[in-house]
Structure 1
Amino acid sequence: MNTMTTTTYAAAARARGLHKVYGEGETRVLALDDVSVEFPRGEFAAIMGPSGSGKSTLMHCMAGLDSVTSGSATIGDVELVGLKDQQLTRLRRDRIGFVFQAFNLMPTLTALENITLPGDIAGRRPDRDWLARVVDAMGLADRLKHRPGQLSGGQQQRVACARALAGKPEIIFADEPTGNLDSHAGAEVLALLGSCVRDFGQSVVMVTHDPVAASHADRVVFLADGRIVDELRAPTADGVLDRMGRLDVADRVG
């Protein structure tokens, strides 16, 4: 029977020598090329890079949403490579929270039902005190009976953030969480993700193309051509924009 490998760890998520290949022969694409990176506990990290750089692929491989061609990917003390589908499903359900650009809410369910849906599917009773704290932090107390169609985009993304937090995950992966929002709603969601780290002790890894969004993170990791090429701590929007500009120039020159 395949078991989950346990190791000594300090990181919420870690990749070692990660390779991801799509296709074969003439259609072969090397999406990730020997990527090694750690995302410590209690950090808000952003992943950035030019289009096609591999940033979403990296997040999907580290979150167990996509398979790895070779190398190692761990969530806490669990090695993802080699896990069976049922084990991966359990890992994602119990230890990871997800926030997506498209919200991914069920239109026929209320906000509260959407928030508790993963736990309901797993047959877990919600921790009412924790749930109340999350709902309050997300500013949703007066919206719990509303369905997604009755909520603004920003409110829907708050519901998605609350859903990601409801199960007390070790890490939250956010894929372009402000991509469908205006600047005001986007700023609110980014502040909420930041509060997940500061107030709830979560770890957040966010893929984004927006320098302003990335400036809310503690650290930005930059990818180009499937490899990590730079990182920036305590980022500012101008600093991120400058680094991205250099990557674009290098890509054109190359």
Structure 2
Amino acid sequence: MTAHSSAVDRSGPRDTTSAAAARDLTKTYGTGDTAVPALRGVTADFGRATFTAVMGPSGSGKSTFMHCLAGLDRPTGGHAYIGGQDISVLGDRELTRVRRDRVGFVFQSFNLLPTLTAEQNILLPLDLAGRRADPARLAAVVGSLAIGDRLGHRPAELSGGQQQRVAIARALVTEPEVVFADEPTGALDSHTAATLLSFLRRSCRELGQTIVMVTHDPIAASYADRALLLSDGLIVDELREPTADAVLGAMRRLAA
């Protein structure tokens, strides 16, 4: 993977093993004297069935990067790809369809609808798309997350960890090409966080899922296959099979 270079690669993903990719991605907020560059030319590939942690100091551009890559925000320049399709050139309607059919999202705030049961929340994206759930997929996801006995409960009747597991099930049941998770363990205790991270790792191995997770936590990053470190809108380091200590050391070097 090329993090950044003077010779920019403007081609799409190099092969079909990329579930998501970025090419010279830039994002600037504001104009003129008030312009703030959040991304300054990011190029990266995310292979299928891989788990990537995206890290960096506050203001490094990690959440902006994920939002542009996922189609939640439009880049100022460059290209974002989902499964080889350049989503940065799509109109609003096409982009909505990509987000609905090919991408899953997990947020720290869960975003569950309080009037629906856990099962109804899980199936909501499929209902909105007019699709039926694959019973085997639903059973595998619900079973792996150990929420089978909570499907009839509404969010207020679930613990924070259970709500987050429902949110993850909702993201996975549609069989998206890639799941984007924004600080998914930030509101959880350490035991619940470890359980969820273990499941995300297993979902790559057993369900073939691709996961891109923004996190500030070196322990969370250690569950990933690799960690990308951003600073000032650029990828400045990449760690393969990261350990918490290695990530912490890399973060300290960035702060030095």
Please classify the TM superposition score into its range, dividing by the shorter chain length. over 0.9
SS in 1 for 2:161: helix
Q: Tell me the residue number matched to 1:112.
A: 119
Q: Tell me the residue number matched to 2:144.
A: 137
Q: Distance in 1 between matches of 2:176 and 2:138?
A: 13
Q: Distance in 1 between matches of 2:108 and 2:58?
A: 16
Q: Tell me the residue number matched to 1:190.
A: 197
Q: Distance in 2 between matches of 1:194 and 1:243?
A: 22
- Letter of the 2:226 counterpart: R
Residue by residue over 1:101-148, the C-alpha shift from the partner in whole angstroms, topping out at 9 and shown as x without a partner, is 001111111000000001111111111221112111110110000111
Q: Distance in 2 between matches of 1:7 and 1:235?
A: 25
Q: Distance in 1 between matches of 2:136 and 2:233?
A: 42
Structure 1 residue 9: Cα displacement: 2.8
Within the candidate set 202, 209, 215, 2:209 is matched to 202
Q: Distance in 2 between matches of 1:228 and 1:133?
A: 35
Pair 1:64–1:244, CA change in 2 (3 A) = same
SS in 2 for 1:119: helix
Pair 1:241–1:6, CA change in 2 (3 A) = closer
The alignment status of 1:217 with 2:210, answered yes or no, reads no
The alignment status of 1:97 with 2:108, answered yes or no, reads no
Within the candidate set 16, 20, 32, 1:25 is matched to 32
Within the candidate set 51, 54, 63, 1:47 is matched to 54
The alignment status of 1:128 with 2:135, answered yes or no, reads yes
User: Cα RMSD (Å) of the superposition?
Assistant: 1.3
Structure 1 residue 6: Cα displacement: 10
Q: How does 1:214-253 map to 2 (within 5 A)?
A: 214-249=221-256
Q: Tell me the residue number matched to 1:180.
A: 187
Q: Distance in 1 between matches of 2:90 and 2:189?
A: 39
Q: Distance in 1 between matches of 2:87 and 2:26?
A: 14
Q: Distance in 1 between matches of 2:70 and 2:134?
A: 24
Q: Tell me the residue number matched to 1:12.
A: 19
CA contact (8 A) 2:103 2:176 kept: yes
Q: Distance in 1 between matches of 2:136 and 2:18?
A: 27
Moved >4 Å (runs of 4+): 5-8
Q: How many residues align?
A: 245
Structure 1 residue 7: Cα displacement: 8.6
SS in 1 for 2:198: helix
Structure 1 residue 8: Cα displacement: 5.0
Percent of residue pairs bearing the same amino acid type: 60
Give TM-score scaled by structure 1 length: 0.94
- Stretches of structure 1 that go unaligned for 5 or more consecutive residues are 250-254
CA contact (8 A) 2:13 2:81 kept: no
Q: Distance in 2 between matches of 1:105 and 1:222?
A: 30
The alignment status of 1:75 with 2:73, answered yes or no, reads no
Give TM-score scaled by structure 2 length: 0.93
Q: Tell me the residue number matched to 1:58.
A: 65
